Structure 1
């Protein structure tokens, strides 16, 4: 058997539209891991809101968070863990100029810590609905460099905000505007994207590119699907993702598209 690295995005891919794992998906991914394949969650989500899915599946393999900025094995010390951070002064500068740039909520986050300028009811998964005194984003509390900044902003100011970050910090960071109804952008270290995390994991396990299979549905999956030997777009993926993919699932994320595809492709026991 060829050992595969199976890189799975979460939202819109492994999870259904209620942000849950189905019993079929859990069973399939467990079977793939039992058969010796490396199943790795590769997500834009921070660790704090993806650890539950890792544990539900029962994985022991590495996980990639923040679109490639963090690679680690949850619940254990892994001597090959990496975390690409950005200068905390960038977070404090954006915080200081927030009102003129149209920033509503700003969070700074790394593997184990979260700071925010205030509580928020927008996308409760990503933005904290409650914060402690120590988690308020300011120069006293922000003691370490964050891995990612997440900004919710006024859509009318998007061009100004992206331009300002590019002009002041473009040599050090990349900006990724999220899809979806909320106006949200993410700031990460320069050159960070999911393919970087997948490439790193493949090297740790000596898995050749042709034995990497990656699943995704949104713009932040594009590099990962292009890089993988087999990039698979979900049936519900945006058109640009289907264009770069080698294949598309026959069912969407609401109907176990990833699980059915993997079962067939890897000839997993039913």
Structure 2
């Protein structure tokens, strides 16, 4: 995490050790997956070229490197993403939990790509929000956060007002303070207009 317009702002980068990444990649080779992607700050490493993946990461014009991660990935990555079909995602996540839980956290992105997002243990979106809030002097109770997937759980719990999207997973809706409409129905805008009295 960094401030793009303030070089003196205390940035936060807690990557996964490269040796852990190699262990994870090696250990899942016996499972079926479609792709592996690594993020190193603003650089993206994609094992297999896939326009669906590239379209997700093209925003901001990052440097994208295609090819074998063992060859090209030389720095500790911010995150590791494994793309697999829905059934194999469950199997791979079970394996990650059984074998690597002491050093990594993993969450899932839902359809259409079914991606497993892996970060260093102890990291989640709530950690990032707390870091920014502390720097800006914003109390927790004045934070509104929106989420729809299980990588949003800690953030929704942390925020003073945690809002689940209408298209969100049920476990997120169960802990949210509010539930809004879906992304496609302007759910975020509706809450902000109401809460910030913008109408």
- Superposition TM-score, scaled by structure 2 size: 0.81
Unaligned runs of 5+ in 1: 1-70
Partner of 2:150: 219
- 1:11-26 to structure 2, matched below 5 A, reads none
Question: Considering only aligned residues, what root-mean-square deviation do their CA atoms show, in Å?
Answer: 2.7
Q: Does residue 186 of the first structure (1) align with residue 117 of the second (2)?
A: yes
Unaligned runs of 5+ in 2: none
Cα distance per residue 1:135-173 (max 9 Å; x no partner): 423444222100111111355544553344334432111
Q: Distance in 2 between matches of 1:135 and 1:76?
A: 31
Aligned partners of 2:109 and 2:149 also within 8 Å: no
- 1:45-124 to structure 2, matched below 5 A, reads 71-96=1-26, 99-124=29-54
Q: Does residue 175 of the first structure (1) align with residue 90 of the second (2)?
A: no
Shift of 1:235: 3.1
Secondary structure of the 1:72 match is: coil
Instruction: Name the count of aligned residue pairs.
Output: 195
Higher relative CO (Cα under 8 Å, sequence separation at least 6) belongs to: 1
Partner of 2:73: 142
Secondary structure of the 1:210 match is: helix
Partner of 1:165: 96
Cα distance per residue 1:56-81 (max 9 Å; x no partner): xxxxxxxxxxxxxxx22225424311
Aligned partners of 1:230 and 1:246 also within 8 Å: yes
Q: Does residue 266 of the first structure (1) align with residue 183 of the second (2)?
A: no
- 1:201-216 to structure 2, matched below 5 A, reads 201-216=132-147
Q: Distance in 1 between matches of 2:45 and 2:136?
A: 34
Shift of 1:83: 1.1
Secondary structure of the 1:82 match is: coil
- Superposition TM-score, scaled by structure 1 size: 0.62
Counterpart of 2:184 (choices 251, 254, 267) is 254
Cα distance per residue 1:104-160 (max 9 Å; x no partner): 3111112121222221244443478xxx99542344422210011111135554455
